[in-house]
Amino acid sequence: MQPLAGLRVIDLSRNAPGPFASMLLADMGADVIAVAGGRAGVALPTVGRGKRVITLNLKEPAGRAALHALVRRADVFLEGFRPGVCATLGAGYEDLSALNPRLVYCSLTGYGQAGPLSQVASHDIDYLAVGGLLGSMGPLDGVPVPPLNLVADMGGGALYAVLGILAALHARAVTGQGSYVDVAMLDGVLSLMTMWYPGWGSPTLPGRGRGLAGGEAPFYRCYACADGRFVAVGAIEPAFFTALWHGLGIDDPQPDHLDRRLWPELTTRFSAIFAGRPRDEWVERLATLDACVAPVLAPDEVWDHPQIAFRHPGASAAQVPSAPRFGAAAAALPTYDLDDATVAVLHEAGLADDDIDRVLAENARQPRAGIGWPPVRDG
């Protein structure tokens, strides 16, 4: 049995962080009902795995009544609108917790529920910027480069939302009462930077593009190979650096690799050596030496890698495996079914046919909006 089997989640969020969080809950067995509709449109289909999608117009009475009926039987409510928006729709924490005192209500926003930036429109790159992470990343002689939207949206947002929800559910098991979980993506970025704030300005992280993990250290960076592809080297510890040194075929006495004064010379030397062989030849040569060297794979190469193919047979860009794994074998993944399930779900919630008809009529009057995925087009 999946660990969250029997848990009912109502997901009112849009875009990426909230829907990704609810997909993780669905992967672990939760029954997730994603509520679409309104100006914000629908969530990204790529994070729709394991969910049932319904449409409600929460600006109309029947839509609100239907949501309230769902909430009475739910365990978790997740929303990702700006602070105060859900309250105007009859879906604020006070409204819904009064209907269901055991409800765990999670708000996932950029900057939290209060403060000078709480109502400011922003995205992942902005939270990275304010949190100091973006200012510490990228090449020394270039502009900062965001790591896709993985850190703030998915890490600081979605994963912290799941963490908060599970913690609140544990507390509910003890107290019998639900609670409010306030997740801010900026807070998540600050938390994820815990290891690096103290090191800023020190030899470990003296500046952007410098230091141990910033791309300056010759033993912790990427190198171009003869075929134009790359390897990633992470030989920090002395034993790993020794394996790298000998694996590269260097006969000279091994230097103190943590002496920053030697880094430019070592980088030049390693660059010339790695440029002499294709990427996969280097990987094969160094694979069993504990030199901490890996191929830099493009996204379309990932699924053929032996470790990934072994651990996740059948995985692909369209079927990304779930994480974490519970037990020795991976659980079967839920399916993607983005068909509108409004009628079936509302029948389960106990609504009469006339009430459901009113919901459908209200839905027909609301405009369709939101950004599709992928949003970028050629031409």
Unique residue bearing structure tokens 């930036």: 117
- Tokens 């999608």 identify what position? 53
Torsional class of 81: left (φ above 0), alpha (ψ -120 to 50), beta (otherwise): beta
Question: Tokens representing 326?
Answer: 């519970």
Phi-psi category of residue 291: left, alpha or beta, with phi > 0 → left and psi -120 to 50 → alpha = alpha
C-alpha span between 372 and 178 (Å, rounded):
34
| CA-based nearest residue to 80, from 9, 164, 11 | 11
Distance in angstroms (rounded) separating the CA atoms of residues 194 and 34: 33
Q: Are 248 and 270 in contact (CB under 8 A)?
A: yes
Which positions are annotated as active-site residues? 123, 153
User: Phi, psi at residue 7, to the nearest 5°?
Assistant: -85, 130
Asked whether the beta carbons of 260 and 202 are under 8 A apart, the reply is: no
Question: Scanning the structure block, which residue is given the tokens 């504990």?
Answer: 290
Q: Could you count the other beta carbons within 10 Å of the beta carbon of residue 232?
A: 15
What is the helix (H) or strand (E) element at residue 85, kind and residue range?
Answer: helix 85-88
How far out from the chain centre does Cα 367 lie? 29
CB 135 within 8 A of CB 141: no
Task: Output the furthest CA–CA distance in the chain (Å, rounded).
Answer: 84
Write out the DSSP string of 181-192: EEEEHHHHHHHH
Tokens of 375: 């949003």
Any idea how long the chain is? 379
